[in-house]
A and B are shown apart, each in its own frame.
Chain A
Amino acid sequence: MTAVLDVRTPSAGSPPARPGRAGRRPLGRPARSHLTAYLFLAPGFALFLLLIIYPVIKAFQMSFYDWNVVAGATSQFTGWANYVKAYHDPVFWRGLANSAFYMAVTVPPQIALGLFVATLLNNKAPGRALFRVLFYLPVVTSWVVVSLLFQYLFADSGLVNWMLHDVTHLTSHRTSWLSGRWTGMVAVSALGVWKGIGWSMMIFLAALQGVPKELLESAEVDGAGRWQRFRAVTLPSIWPAAAFVTVMLVIGGFNVFISVLLMTNGGPADSTQVLLTYMYKQAFTYLNFGYGSAIAVLLTLGVFVLSAIQLRAFRGDAEELA
């Protein structure tokens, strides 16, 4: 799985897990240099094992227990009970549907608009730097702040309703955005797209630097139109970046959490619950740590499978495009 990808190099599709070839001529005598290497590695790696790898294993383990958080109390091994519970839990399925909705609604516009803006900015036109900054501003602003901001904009007498009802009369009444399931998800998704365009724009801008200029020119000489040139030259060359952006955005889509927590808190009556807010509520409101872990494990596995499928699809398409 390629979650890490150097979009600047043409070979960006190959797995990156190849620690440089700098070791071809090891510094120092082997035995001693091994010891030195391990000593440099040890403090950081020990921390990584403790704080990341151990919790990964722990999450799997906990999902098979009726986990008791109270110190000293024993936890009951319950086998697949937490997973069976999820299967019969309508809120779990609603959370999955809401997360999937958010993903499906936010990912395509982020890719399309990000790429569109990137192509508009991909020349040495004046003002280019300014536009890049403006589009990137939402990306660097914290989720907490922009979530509150959008809650305010989508309030009953907020700016969005004023625009849609009072100014343009597109809606016959002021919509109570955050107190309905689909309107709430639309508001959350609007935030997701608005905040994310700058990120994909930045990745695509970097990728566009690698499009061979001679090819574009000779295509133009051959009479290829703007769209044909994009299709035949630009697209194949930015394909690895597109794969990277898509995979990352899909993962990010299923990880929507803070915006939902702050804008609707999963309500009313769990109708806008997404998987992670539901997991969080189960764990830290109801103290169902085992059930919460089962939801986290299901989400992780689901996202992994989805990423693998996408990467395979992108690889197939890349061969066809080439």
Chain B
Amino acid sequence: MTATPIPAGGKRSAPAGRRDSVPAGRRLPAPALRYLVLTVGALIMVLPFAYMVSTSFKSQTYVLSLPPQFVPHPATTANYTQAWTGDNFSRYFVNSLVVAAVSTTLSLLLSSMMAYSFARFRFPGREVLFKLLLLGLMIPAMMLIIPQFVLAKYLHLIDSMAGLVLFYVGSSLSLNTFLLRGFFAAIPVELEQAMQVDGAGAIVRYWRLILPLAKPALATATIFTFLGSWDEFAWALTIINTPTKRTLPIAIALFQGQNSTLWGLVFAASIIAVVPVIVVFLLFQRYFVQGLTAGAVKG
């Protein structure tokens, strides 16, 4: 396929007739059609969620009734009270919160230090080490779950929340370092040199200059790391045995496992877990976009 050669910025005056031959009104009015298609698509995206919300207010008798109930009648909030009060659920919520918060803090500290080193210093082995780190972006987490389990067992981290935190930090380092390094490198070196002349050491420059200036990138990294840990399922399923140490995704998946699934309960619990995520997403949308476009997001 050879592309039509079009001179860049060419202001060739087209024959008047040809311009008119572009049929503007031949099809349905473009904006109307566009909105119709978009609306149908958006409905497909949103309706499953709406139905989930609806089901979370139904009692078990009505969850799979035919024809399906779209507006729960009678509506009940029993699923929410049962989800929240029963079976340690609030405990799981706190577990998830603690694990995600600690993992995020540690990961951001360590990866911003690495990013600073890669962005601002020239040292033997820099290229090789950076490429090694990028390798971490290409290896899907599931591929390593068996050897990581053996390692965790060796380190006595099985069935502990420390085991969750450590491996969540480990698996987020590559992406965060990559993301932050790019941002740090764009900060003018002259600012640092000015501070250096005033006698500021590397730690001071990193903490007082680079980190405050890199707030948008840090926000992006925070959101992705936090949500990654908050939603993580496979690793927690594998190493956590004690019920009180479960995180939310495990707890929700286990609601399903017990005999016939109590769908109202499952979805009430799901909504409790999902609402914080959606709120964070709506508030910090632009950081999501930055994170997505700056690098790979496994998921």
Contact = CB atoms under 8 A, between A and B. Distances in A.
Interface majority SS on B: helix, strand, loop or mixed? Answer: helix
Nearest to B49: A137
Contact of A120 (B34, B227, B278): B34
Interface in A130-177: 131, 133-146, 148-153, 155, 157-159, 162, 166
Interface string A197-222: 11100110010000010110011111
A301 B256 CA distance: 34
A5 B270 contact: no
Interface residues of A, number: 124
Nearest to B249: A144
Contact of A133 (B64, B153, B171, B282): B282
Interface stretch (A31-39, A84-92, A100-108, A178-186): A31-39
A62 B143 CA distance: 13
B270 A148 contact: yes
A27 B143 contact: no
Given A145-B274, A231-B3, A255 B144 contact: no
A44 B110 contact: yes
Given A3-B296, A228-B4, A289-B150, A17 B131 contact: yes
Interface string A45-77: 101101111111011001000010101000000
B71 to A, nearest CB: 14
B29 interface: no
B129 A45 contact: yes
Interface majority SS on A: helix, strand, loop or mixed? Answer: helix
Given A6-B294, A121-B38, A40 B114 contact: yes
A267 B98 CA distance: 35
A207 to B, nearest CB: 8
A144 B253 contact: yes
Contact of A152 (B55, B131, B297): B55
14 contacts: A17-B131, A22-B184, A27-B121, A40-B121, A53-B132, A117-B41, A142-B274, A159-B51, A159-B68, A162-B66, A218-B11, A257-B234, A283-B146, A300-B143
Interface of B: 1, 3-4, 6-14, 18-19, 21-22, 31, 34-35, 37-38, 41-42, 44-46, 48-49, 51-52, 55, 63-68, 110-111, 113-114, 116-124, 126-127, 129-140, 142-151, 153, 166-167, 169-171, 173-174, 177-178, 181-182, 184-186, 189, 192-193, 196, 202, 206, 227, 230-231, 233-234, 238, 249, 252-253, 256, 261, 263, 266-267, 270, 273-274, 277-278, 281-282, 285, 288-289, 292-299
